Amino acid sequence: MCSSDLAHIHRYAYASDDALDALLDRASGAFEVHRRSAVADRASAMRRLADLLASRADDHAALMTEEMGKPLAQAVAEAEKCAWVCRYYAEHAEAYLADESRETEATRSFVAHEPLGPVLAIMPWNFPFWQAFRFAAPTVMAGGVGILKHAENVLGCGERMADLFREAGFAEGVFQHAIISHEQTAGVIADDRVRAVTLTGSEGAGRAVAAQAGEARKPCVLELGGTDAFVVLADADLDAAVESGVQARVQNNGQSCIAAKRFLLEAPIAADFTRRFVERMEALTVGDPTTDVDLGPLARADLRETVHDQVMRAVAAGAKVQCGGAIPDGTGFYYPPTVLTNVKEDSPAFSEEIFGPVASLTVVDDADE
């Protein structure tokens, strides 16, 4: 939610153990039917799902913005991207799933693609629709079924997605949203009715889930954080570099695992790039994400506290604040566009992922460095 004194949007209770057991039974039963369905029938339902996403993109976007604060225009684009991924797999799944012949000494050799079974997806809040749909569309088209354990601040988005799958015509149990605790999640990973697990989230969460999946001897796919480099060499078009660099740093209020975070500047252009970059960051508008702004609030109070702590530790390690770097007065978990210079390799701003609109600038002598 966007404001620290805002009333709760909705309250949710964790599923009881009996309700969770029934959910897993539904997933297991649905899989046995869904895996034998015709790919063409799955594709028809997936196209209907895409239509529901696209035709109600404004409504889905409003829910995303309400729950985690992304600018509304970006949320609309996210809903539309989800429609695209559903259409993509509806169109291409049959070809992707076709048997692949292999030349061997046998009469016939081939690779067959078969669904594993129910897949648990532990998904984050920063792209609350996209992260789930990019897993769900290929999984369901391949004949698998999905169980979504969504982040606790975007549970409305998780509920909406489960409703959309049902409305599109997928059978009960093909895609379900499980509102469960961390302890219950560990039990689901261990449960024989679940055959694989995927997580997008922090390194700590990834270590825990990988260990649990390893103990259960189940396939596990992880997508974790990063502190991605944005390299600007001496022959760069600085106007283009500044514009793309700012957008790459502040998209989704700076809360993206693939955002540009560490800017490595070749010495001859470092001063000019820094001046232009700071000016462009200072010009960004910050405010109510339902209006026409560049940046809304961070998703939660604790996330803003973490970002500010990282900035302060970077300053203590020698970084210089060129703009931003202070928590503003007023309600809402806003954090200003921030630029740090003199960031060395031993700085927290260089080695840690900062999940907010904070850019770390480091000067290097040349391309080799």
b/e burial code for range 4-30 (CB count within 10 A of at least 16 → b): eeeeeeeeeeebeeeebeebbebbbbb
For the CA atoms of the chain, what is the radius of gyration?
23
CA distance linking residue 85 with residue 138, whole number of Å: 9
**Distance of alpha carbon 233 from the chain centroid:** 30
Asked about 323 being catalytic, the answer comes back as no
CA distance linking residue 221 with residue 236, whole number of Å: 37
Contacts of 31 (CB under 8 A, 6+ apart): 115, 117, 118, 144, 145, 173
**If we measure between CA atoms, which residue out of 176, 103, 110 comes closest to residue 139?**
176
Q: State the pairing for strand pair 338-341/320-323.
A: antiparallel
CA distance linking residue 57 with residue 76, whole number of Å: 6
Asked about 223 being catalytic, the answer comes back as yes
**If we measure between CA atoms, which residue out of 315, 361, 307 comes closest to residue 334?**
307
Question: Residue 101: phi, psi to the nearest 5?
Answer: -70, 145
Which one from 78, 157, 257, 266 is the annotated catalytic residue? 257
Which one from 223, 243, 279, 352 is the annotated catalytic residue? 223
**If we measure between CA atoms, which residue out of 98, 163, 174 comes closest to residue 136?**
174
Question: Residue 72: phi, psi to the nearest 5?
Answer: -60, -40
Beta carbons of 289 and 302 less than 8 angstroms apart: no
Beta carbons of 21 and 192 less than 8 angstroms apart: no
Q: Catalytic residue numbers?
A: 223, 257
